Structures are given as structure tokens and as C-alpha cells.
């Protein structure tokens, strides 16, 4: 029943048991379901063979789900003080699972206490125990009142979480051909012009609720181009400031974001792709990967 309920809301789950030691154990090989949905026959077979099992929800881009897992009152307080939008909440034995939409264009890896003590992130290739799953001690994972699937929508990640994900080293994957910082030769190529124009166009059209998030991404991406010798730092910073100067009452906050994220981009240089290379951008916070075609 748990698996059917998840499927009704577009989420993929697999049967899971929690042992006496508290370890969560998937009962089927689940790697393939990160890329495809199980068939109705497969789900029916799982329910038939594992009638007492709970479920683990697959997180990541395929399921469109990111889960913030807090495991103590202090961890919950840390998260709540920073602000949490109305979203699906699951009560665990020690804390809360906060459900968010997986951020498009961002590679989010799993992490344990990286953002703060007692706070784990379930992203690409991860799993979170679903509501309705029972522990051997009798505790049942359950939705917080008024925050179940179907009662509220799964929210976009809060701005502070997006900013951390953009800059977290664990979410940056090394290129197969590492790049080193290069000096600008005074000429901005057609590829770099296209990237710059599109980045600034999106930023200029940002609504008030999107501004800091998009500014973080834009400053990081333009910093990458400067680090790769594709453009001049003065001109790109001036372009960013010209846009943010039109935002009322946000100058100080925007300046800090630009400096911090632009410097982070400088440390992850990006250059025009070679002719026999395809550039993949799973994340604005990732170094572009080079995969030989």
C-alpha cells in the first residue's frame, strides 16, 4: 500500500525493512530504478512477496526529489531558523524529513552532516524511508499533521539551501581534463559571448523571489569564465552590479553574493569546449565535464 501511495504522487519507492539495529535494508536491487519506473507487475510482486515491508523513496533527478534529513532537535532548530517553506514533512524516530523538489540543473550528491551536524542530504542515488514504514521498536514513520503528500505540494528548496548546494565541494565533480586558471587575452569569443548574454538576460528578468538564487548562479558561472581566461573580470562584475543596482533595498546583500560566488567560480575555471568534446552541465556549481565524443 505504501508503494501504491507513492506512485500516485509520482514518486518511486522500493520495499525496505529496518532491522533490530536500526539499519535500513532495501529488499530488491534498486539501482536500475534510479533510471526507470518499476512496472505495475513489479510493484505487485513486491507487495505480494514482502507484505510487511515498508518502503524507501528514491531521491535524485529521476524522481525529482531532494530530502533534508534532520536527526536531532538541534538539527531541526538549525534548519527551521533559516526558514523552511510549506512542504511535505515526515516524522522520523529522531527528527524530520523535509521534502523538496530536486533542483533542475544542479548535481546534488548525498552527504552526512556536511551542511551542519545531524543534517543529511539525500540527493542523486539516495533513498529516504517513506511514511508508513515501521521500525522493530514499533515506531512508524509518519507525516506531520497537515503536511502529507496530497495535502501540500513538495516545495522548491529554500534559497539558503540552494546557495549551499551551489558552493559545496561535494557537489562539484572534477572534469576528466582538469582546467587551470588562464589569463584573458583581450578577446571574448562567440561561445563565451553567448554564455554571458544568456546568463545576464536571465538575471535581469529575475523576479524578487528568484533574485538571490539566480544571482548566485550567474556570479559563479561568470567567475568560471574569467578563471578560464574567456572574459575580463572587471567587465563581468560591472555587468552584475549594473543589474543588481536596479533592485531596491538589496544592494548590500547582492554585493556579498556577487563577491562570494564570483570568487568560487574563479576556482573552477571553464573554457570554450573543444571541437571533439561535448560539454555537459548538470549543475551551475559543477565544473563542466568533458566527454570525448
Strand partners, 16: 26, 54
Helices assigned H by DSSP within 38-178: 40-49, 73-82, 159-167
Model confidence at 252, pLDDT cuts 50, 70, 90, reads low
Highest mean pLDDT among 20-24, 182-186, 228-232: 228-232
Q: Which residue has the higher pLDDT, 1 or 189?
A: 189
**Distance separating alpha carbons of residues 138 and 134, to the nearest angstrom:** 6
Share of the chain above pLDDT 70, in %: 87
End-to-end CA distance of the chain: 45
Share of the chain above pLDDT 90, in %: 45
Mean pLDDT of 17-22: 86
Contact 102, 63 (CB under 8 A): yes
Mean pLDDT of 224-238: 91
Grid cell 583581450 in the structure block, residue:
186
Q: Which residue has the higher pLDDT, 187 or 288?
A: 187
What pLDDT sits at residue 65?
95
Strand partners, 69: 97, 120
The per-residue pLDDT of the chain, averaged, comes to 84
Q: Is the pLDDT of residue 47 over 80?
A: yes
Amino acid at each position: 500500500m505504501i508503494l501504491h501511495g507513492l506512485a500516485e504522487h509520482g514518486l518511486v519507492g522500493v520495499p525496505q525493512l529496518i532491522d533490530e539495529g536500526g539499519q535500513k535494508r532495501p529488499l530488491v536491487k534498486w539501482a536500475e530504478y534510479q533510471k526507470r519506473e518499476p512496472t505495475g507487475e513489479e510493484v505487485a510482486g513486491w507487495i505480494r512477496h514482502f507484505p510487511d515491508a515498508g518502503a524507501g523513496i528514491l531521491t535524485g533527478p529521476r524522481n525529482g526529489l531532494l530530502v533534508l534529513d534532520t536527526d536531532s532537535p538541534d538539527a531541526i532548530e538549525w534548519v527551521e531558523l533559516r526558514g523552511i517553506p510549506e512542504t511535505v514533512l515526515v516524522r522520523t524516530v529522531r527528527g524530520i524529513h523535509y521534502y523538496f523538489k530536486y533542483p533542475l540543473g544542479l548535481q546534488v550528491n548525498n552527504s552526512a552532516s556536511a551542511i551542519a551536524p545531524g543534517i543529511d542530504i539525500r540527493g542523486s542515488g539516495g533513498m529516504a524511508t517513506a511514511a508508513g514504514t515501521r521500525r522493530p521498536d514499533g515506531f512508524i514513520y509518519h507525516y506531520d499533521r497537515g503536511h502529507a503528500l496530497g495535502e501540500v505540494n513538495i516545495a522548491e528548496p529554500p534559497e539558503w539551501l540552494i546557495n549551499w548546494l551551489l558552493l559545496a565541494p561535494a557537489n562539484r565533480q572534477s572534469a576528466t581534463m582538469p582546467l587551470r586558471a588562464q589569463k584573458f587575452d583581450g578577446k571574448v569569443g562567440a561561445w563565451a559571448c553567448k554564455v554571458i548574454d544568456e546568463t545576464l538576460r536571465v538575471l535581469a528578468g529575475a523576479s524578487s523571489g528568484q533574485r538571490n538564487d539566480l544571482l548566485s548562479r550567474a556570479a559563479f558561472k561568470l567567475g568560471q569564465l574569467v578563471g578560464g581566461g574567456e572574459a575580463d573580470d572587471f567587465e563581468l562584475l560591472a555587468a552584475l552590479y549594473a543589474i543588481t543596482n536596479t533592485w531596491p533595498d538589496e544592494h548590500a546583500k547582492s554585493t556579498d553574493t556577487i563577491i562570494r560566488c564570483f570568487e568560487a567560480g574563479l576556482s573552477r575555471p571553464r573554457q570554450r569546449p573543444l571541437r571533439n568534446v561535448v560539454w555537459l552541465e548538470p549543475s551551475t556549481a559543477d565544473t563542466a565535464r568533458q566527454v570525448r565524443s
